[in-house]
Chains A and B, each alone.
Chain A
Amino acid sequence: MYTEKIELKDLDKTDPEYRDLLGRVLAIQADCEIGGPHLYVEKMLPAAPTKLDQLIVARTAAEEIDHFRKVARVAGDMGVDVSFVLSQPNEKRFVDAFRGLITTWEDNAVFGFLIDRVGRYQLEEFSDCSYLPLQRILPDIVTEELGHIEYGYNKTCELLSKGDEQRERVQRAIDYWYVRALDMFGHSGSKRAERYIFWGLKRRANEQAREDYIREVNPILTSMGIRIPDPIKGRRFI
């Protein structure tokens, strides 16, 4: 197991596999950060239910763009150009959940509640990681992601309180996003994940992080009176 802590100036001395995996994970993280605004800005900025919600959509997008900027900077400094993801069509995003378009307020709320929570898990994988420039950008990004999750949760609760028809619409959004959230953790038993862990770039195996997520989110769903979706049906990565 790799126990070194690496600064940018020492990166040339590291194993090529380390640099490859680091470049790859930064490109995926950058894609996920900018993938959010590409999902919801077009339809939700004009259609959010109140002017304050419209402004919060804009603020959330600004924060995600800033997260992209920080990740792109870490990647760029080590010679990896991730700017191509700025123009990446949604259907070509690295992660399934970011392909498509959010067109309803229920989806927007549930996306924040469930998918930004996976984002927090992904970021927490890097806490205390071996690459110090990545570790340094994390605290502010995680704090802002927590705000997105809380906003998504609050908006979901607000929608649930608006009667049976609305509750059913929220349930449909949960059914859609829950399996995508679980898929975001990737294949169980992934060999690549093992290498990330070996190099100190991640902490948990995919299946462990997914289990932790389920243990966190299922009780919240139950407390909201939501049926927990089938965790297998519709999954691509088991």
Chain B
Amino acid sequence: MPERAPNTERLDEHLLEIVHALHGAVRQGVSHTDDAKITDRVIEDCKKLLDVIMAGNE
């Protein structure tokens, strides 16, 4: 059995958390497209979550 690369599980859990948060936010936004206040807030939340990924593994 090969030795697992360090941080494999931690990275997996971290990314899964972000993916779930993004999907949750998008679902909320899609169900409120007639309410600009909510969608704007959701898009801002998505941006913050995506910024974490765009920043790389710093």
Q: List the interface of chain A (C-beta within 8 A of B).
A: 8-9, 11-12, 34, 37-38, 41-42, 45-46, 51-52, 54-56, 58-59, 61-62, 65-66, 68-69, 72-73, 75-81, 83-84, 86-88
- Residues of B within 8 Å of A69, CB to CB, are 11-12, 15-16, 19
- Residues of A within 8 Å of B3, CB to CB, are 79
Question: Do the beta carbons of A65 and B15 come within 8 Å of each other?
Answer: yes
Question: Do the beta carbons of B2 and A62 come within 8 Å of each other?
Answer: no
Question: Do the beta carbons of B23 and A62 come within 8 Å of each other?
Answer: yes
Question: Do the beta carbons of B50 and A41 come within 8 Å of each other?
Answer: yes
Q: List the interface of chain B (C-beta within 8 A of A).
A: 1-9, 11-12, 15-16, 18-19, 22-23, 25-26, 29-30, 33, 36, 39-40, 42-43, 46-47, 50, 53-54, 56-58
CB distance from A122 to the nearest CB of B (A): 21
Question: Do the beta carbons of A55 and B43 come within 8 Å of each other?
Answer: yes
- For the residues of B in contact with A, the DSSP-based class is helix
A-B pair count, CB < 8 Å, reads: 112
Are A62 and B39 also in contact (CB < 8 A) when A52-B30, A75-B5 are?
no
- For the residues of A in contact with B, the DSSP-based class is helix
- Residues of A within 8 Å of B39, CB to CB, are 51, 54-55
C-alpha spacing A50/B29, complex, angstroms: 12
- Residues of A within 8 Å of B19, CB to CB, are 62, 65-66, 69
Question: Do the beta carbons of A54 and B15 come within 8 Å of each other?
Answer: no
Question: Do the beta carbons of A37 and B22 come within 8 Å of each other?
Answer: no
Question: Do the beta carbons of A59 and B23 come within 8 Å of each other?
Answer: yes
C-alpha spacing A41/B22, complex, angstroms: 13
